Structure 1
């Protein structure tokens, strides 16, 4: 039985919290919340669990450390507050507490991380004899597990394209996702955070370089491309209301180039409702979203992953899958050697152990 603290209860955290409460091999011992309206509330109330747990949310990190958990599930948004997130993670690690996280997506490929982030985390892992593992659905699954499955089916690969094609209309996260992608902005507005020079290559460049290293391919350059789409009609949805002339879809990618040709591409096509960017690619079979890998080679291979849920929107189902990528390996991370871990370090069977529990 692993003693677990859940850190944040937002779009991803509420689902990892629910999974931690439900799994018989995990024991929830603490919950962190930053919002005043969540502090003091029972964990069950914060994630829709049927029975009170007796564990109430706190914003006191020292009190959570004093609980001596085996692991912290860190799902708080860190990309907009990297210094604070880094301090929080290192504090847990230095105290001897393992961390699994969906935040700080640069860490999905830890061997590609810049020194400012990697060095303090490595030092904290060494000090506390603890391990850190970061993953998600994208960056994460589509660019590592899914692409490896596709590549295992070819004898020769000419190019690899990893895509996320999603309708974000019902994704209730304008505060981070909406503003970072610039939904509702016009060409005259300030450049959205995600599309500032170097940001895309920082967030998705690691997976591109990592895959190139694994393939033994030397890239000439890493480049980003961005294509906005502005609506002529008013669009209303949960994510945002976009007035005519505002951005309602965006296509962006990070490309690993060799001999002038992109050989590894990680591309996103993100729109608000099906009315946006009608000429761009849509998911197959009328689905609202897809994570796709296409390998052009011998033979051509295409792998499409769709997530869904009987009551949740597809974007929220994706948040469940994002949570799953770290909750499912808590026990292995707690047994792993100290240090920063990558997905390729984890035996595939360890990521499915204990999944058939009754809700």
Structure 2
């Protein structure tokens, strides 16, 4: 079995889950880890992600990692670094990123030019899988293959966020606040900017040339006082939001992305909230309605929910390695799927030994 040499770039929540996935795939060999935090430098990668020591220690030495000549770098930092990306791609390593490069202004203009030049120099590829629900973009685009007419595609994430204990996150999008001021709306726009990429990527895959991508958000208010232990919402304050982006052609929305996040279903506005986590609706001939419920074990920790972001990146290694050099869109990486048979074969091998 031909193995691929992998470097994991940063070890936050998503990075830890990516490390575990790399360990679990016998086709992949972890050769290096980049540590953003100084306290992780020198720590064994196994210990970082809750696995047995593996002999690979994290480092903040970029050139030492480049010298390892990894086939692929799984890139999961909170903030993207253009110089790091250019160096990795120019050295010949493919980069699969969960980060959308929003802090760099996205993959546009001079950023795109530098990344494309680095790919050309190294004969490498950059593929961005995105954050949750980035994996749903491919599903939405693929679903349209049975259509002879597509008027619009809508992707929705509908989920209770009452378990996500991050006061800063929810204040940033306007939760628990009494009204949607201009400042609140701007803060929500910034917080939801990552979901804009979903619209652009689907539109590109369907060969829509967008004229504009418009942001929209609205709120529903709590019908009663809410006390989650870690977060309080007074009756009449924001307890749910519905927001996202509309990609338009000639003033008509052709790709729409929405998140519906709610702390409670007891809302004054009486919103009907679908119990499914992810929805794909295609208005066309024929029309399509996909309802995707992600069911997780009850003993999953909060950390393990990052699997939804990490695994699409790790599972794409071989497809990206086989793709032509350059910045890849949804079509560029081909069909990315879990190597389930290989995992099972590895488990059987371990049982026999």
Q: Provide the residue aligned with 2:231 in structure 1.
A: 241
Equivalent-residue separation in structure 1 for 2:45 and 2:184 (angstroms): 38
1:279-290, aligned counterparts within 5 Å?
A: 279-284=270-275, 290=277
Q: 2:295 aligns with which of 308, 319, 323?
A: 308
The 5-angstrom pairing of residues 67-78 of structure 1 reads 67-78=68-79
Residue in structure 2 matched with residue 65 of structure 1 by the alignment: 66
Structure 1 match to 2:92: 96
Residues 179 and 48 of structure 1, relative CA distance in 2, 3 Å threshold: farther
1:332 Cα shift? 3.0
Query: Per-residue displacement from partner, 1:232-273 (whole Å, max 9, x unpaired)?
Result: 524326xx5134265432211211345654332111111235
**Which of 121, 128, 132 lines up with 1:134 in the alignment?**
128
- Mapped contact 2:17–2:304 kept (Cα < 8 A): no
CA contact (8 A) 1:168 1:315 kept: no
C-alpha contact (below 8 Å) 1:4/1:29 kept by paired residues: yes
**1:225 matched to which residue of 2?**
216
- C-alpha deviation, 1:299, in angstroms: 3.3
Rounded Cα–Cα distance in structure 2 between residues aligned with 1:22 and 1:161 = 34
Return the alpha-carbon distance in structure 2 between the equivalents of residues 315 and 275 of structure 1: 25
TM-score (norm: length of structure 2): 0.81
Q: Secondary structure at the match of 2:331?
A: helix
Contact 2:10–2:76 (CA under 8 A) maintained in structure 1: yes
2:132 matches 1:122: no
User: For 2:65, what is the secondary structure of its paired residue?
Assistant: helix
Aligned residue for 1:47?
49
Regions of 4+ moved over 6 Å:
none
CA deviations on 1:84-128 (whole Å, 9 max, x unpaired) are x22222222223222111012569xxxx93213211211222233
Distance 1:313 1:190, change over 3 A: farther
Give, in whole Å, the separation in 2 of the partners of 1:277 and 1:306: 26
Deviation at 1:142, TM superposition (A): 1.9
Q: Is the CA contact (8 Å cut-off) linking 1:98 and 1:131 kept in structure 2?
A: yes
Counterparts of 2:95 and 2:211 in 1: how far apart (Å)? 35
- Alignment RMSD: 3.3
Q: Secondary structure of the residue that 1:191 maps to in structure 2?
A: helix
Q: CA deviation at 1:164?
A: 0.7
Is the CA contact (8 Å cut-off) linking 1:249 and 1:272 kept in structure 2? yes
Structure 1 residue 356 corresponds to structure 2 residue 347 = no
- Between the two proteins, the alignment pairs up a number of residues equal to 339
Q: What residue is the counterpart of 2:263 in the other structure?
A: 272
Among 7, 25, 28, the alignment partner of 2:27 is: 25
Change beyond 3 A, Cα 1:67–1:352? same
Hey, what does 2:14 align to over in structure 1?
A: 12
Q: Secondary structure at the match of 1:30?
A: strand
- SS at the partner of 1:28? strand
Distance 2:90 2:201 in 1: 27
> 2-side partners of 1:246 and 1:37: how far apart?
40
Structure 1 residues 222 and 192, CA gap change in structure 2 (3 angstroms) = closer
- 1:294 matched to 2:281? The reply is yes
Deviation at 1:152, TM superposition (A): 2.5
Of the candidates 83, 87, 109, which is equivalent to residue 87 of structure 1?
Answer: 83
Q: 1:73 Cα deviation (Å)?
A: 0.7
Structure 2 CA distance for partners of 1:258 and 1:189, relative to 1, 3 Å: closer
1:36 & 1:334 partners in 2: Cα distance? Answer: 31
Q: Which moved more, 1:290-299 or 1:251-260?
A: 251-260
CA distance in 2, matches of 1:149, 1:218: 18
